[in-house]
Structure 1
Amino acid sequence: MKSFISLSLLAGMALASPMMDRAKLELQARSAACAGNRFRASKDGGFGNIIATTVSSSNWGGAAIVTSGVTKVSGTFTVPKPSIPFGGRTTTDYCGAAWVGIDGYSNSALIQTGVLWCVEGTSYEYEAWYEYLPASLIAYSGFSVTSGNSVTVTVTKTSSTGGTTTISANGKKSQGTSAEWIVEDFTSGSSLVPFANFGSVTFTGATAVINGATVQASADSSVTIVLESSFGSALTGTTISGSSVAVVYE
């Protein structure tokens, strides 16, 4: 798969470390079987026919447009500076990731690109990456990101087994069935990693190309996704307005 990234970056360097190496392995450890099977309906609607406007998830928080004909999704966000959650330990890695993607909501064909962050004590790490399940996560070579950077990411799906970020590949296009703007708590093995307090992430310019037409994230088929703890309490809140998706840590 040939991939490229379009980033608008401020000054900043990210250094390789065991903490980031562990985080990348944990993020890519998600199996394709997890995609499309992570949601349950909230009280405001049924989920069986994907008609609920709000659903809960154990690891995603953000928004999705659930429809057919998705070929491209874009968004811009500022990389947050994570912090240790209340009651957390300075010797534990707390991580998270923000990304845009096509598919994965109701199937396993997820293609995504975004930024990973971690904090341990007073150490911070950031990395830009892309992934096409079930292949492993790949870090972009030659790019460094840090908190405060403005990052623009675009995913274009060009076939059932390939795609690009920002640049479309030649060949027949494959239409996806969902577009997502997500902040994620990813898994390591069978357990979620400790989730960092990321403050907030706002995706601007959040648009998707659906059946040849560009639509905003607030389209009629949009779904709000709430990341919940194992105790059922909300860890994220999402506001969708036009082409803006704001995800906050709660």
Structure 2
Amino acid sequence: MLATRLTRALVAAALATAGLATGTAVATTGPATFGPHVSFGHGAGSSFSGGNWGGYASFGSWTTATASWTEPSVTCRSTNDLFAPWVGIDGDGSSTVEQTGVATDCSSGRPVYQAWYEMYPAAPVYYSNSISAGDHFTATVTRSGTSYTLTISDTTKGWTKTTTKSLSSARHYSAEAIIESPTDSYPSVSGNTISFTGVKFDGKTLKSTNPSALNADDRGTNTWIPNAIGSDGTSFSITRH
């Protein structure tokens, strides 16, 4: 699987470079599938009992989820390291997820940042737009019937990608602002903290939607734990413990 991830990452990087050279926005396949919330832990009684999602999720039939974050600087610990902050609808209690965010992939031995969207169970699609650590992002997923509009903006570099897709099997169980590692392996993140701001579901503050806090496991050696929601009701940070 790692060899496949590396090959796909190199192909994606080559396509992205070609797209940037010609000024064309190229959507590429990426190195991993993200998908629904899974609680796996590492043995009974373990203090590292998180799942693959860390952050906050609110249950209900939401039509819009939005959040902002600053992409952290990372140092790769292994070629298996992979993680993404994202915002989305569904996935906690359902087998579909409609999500968009930024993935940091270390399969090449260095961090590669790519914006992406995923209409799980379909594979994620990665964009070629240039991203740097420290860039500020705002992402929104909106549904209307079976149609979903997924928008992500790098407000630092001044670009926006919007994709509209249909998914008739979606269950509309939840909305969330999350960090996730499909490989259960995170790089070293500057400050050991990732922060979200402006988190709202259907225009309501995160705090007012009675969300559930979710811990993310980090290979059984650490846990990413969300801190209390800020006084503004829309912001929170997730810290590695």
Deviations 1:170-199 (A, max 9, x none): 99x988221111110114xxxx4x321223
**C-alpha displacement at 1:245, in angstroms?**
2.3
**C-alpha displacement at 1:120, in angstroms?**
6.6
In the alignment, is the contact (CA less than 8 A) between 1:64 and 1:224 conserved in 2?
yes
Give the letter for the 2:205 counterpart: Q
In the alignment, is the contact (CA less than 8 A) between 1:82 and 1:118 conserved in 2?
no
Distance 2:164 2:66 in 1: 16
In the alignment, is the contact (CA less than 8 A) between 1:102 and 1:178 conserved in 2?
yes
Residue in structure 2 matched with residue 11 of structure 1 by the alignment: none
Distance 2:131 2:95 in 1: 28
Structure richer in helix, relative to its length: 2
Q: Does 1:237 align with 2:228?
A: no
Residue in structure 1 matched with residue 69 of structure 2 by the alignment: 77
Give the letter for the 1:106 counterpart: G
TM-score by length of 2: 0.69
Residue in structure 1 matched with residue 141 of structure 2 by the alignment: 155
**C-alpha displacement at 1:107, in angstroms?**
0.3
Give the letter for the 1:215 counterpart: K
- Give 1:17-56 correspondences, 5 Å limit: 18=10, 25-28=30-33, 30=34, 35=36, 37-38=38-39
In the alignment, is the contact (CA less than 8 A) between 1:202 and 1:246 conserved in 2?
yes
Distance 1:180 1:122, change over 3 A: same
Distance 1:169 1:105, change over 3 A: same
Give the letter for the 1:227 counterpart: A
Match among 184, 195, 201 for residue 202 of structure 1: 195
**C-alpha displacement at 1:38, in angstroms?**
3.1
In the alignment, is the contact (CA less than 8 A) between 2:9 and 2:107 conserved in 1?
no
Residue in structure 2 matched with residue 249 of structure 1 by the alignment: 240
Deviations 1:159-218 (A, max 9, x none): 34x3112479699x988221111110114xxxx4x3212232211110010xxxx21111
Residue in structure 1 matched with residue 150 of structure 2 by the alignment: 165
SS at match of 1:80: coil
TM-score by length of 1: 0.67
**C-alpha displacement at 1:228, in angstroms?**
2.6
Ranges in structure 2 where 5+ consecutive residues have no aligned partner: 1-7, 14-28, 42-48, 152-161
Give the letter for the 1:113 counterpart: T
Residue in structure 1 matched with residue 126 of structure 2 by the alignment: 139
Distance 2:12 2:240 in 1: 22
Over aligned residue pairs, what C-alpha RMSD do you find?
Answer: 3.3
Distance 1:168 1:221, change over 3 A: farther
Distance 1:238 1:20, change over 3 A: farther
In the alignment, is the contact (CA less than 8 A) between 1:104 and 1:110 conserved in 2?
yes
In the alignment, is the contact (CA less than 8 A) between 1:61 and 1:236 conserved in 2?
yes
Distance 2:144 2:180 in 1: 25
**C-alpha displacement at 1:82, in angstroms?**
1.3
Residue in structure 2 matched with residue 109 of structure 1 by the alignment: 96
**C-alpha displacement at 1:95, in angstroms?**
1.9
Distance 1:246 1:95, change over 3 A: same
**C-alpha displacement at 1:140, in angstroms?**
2.3
**C-alpha displacement at 1:158, in angstroms?**
2.3
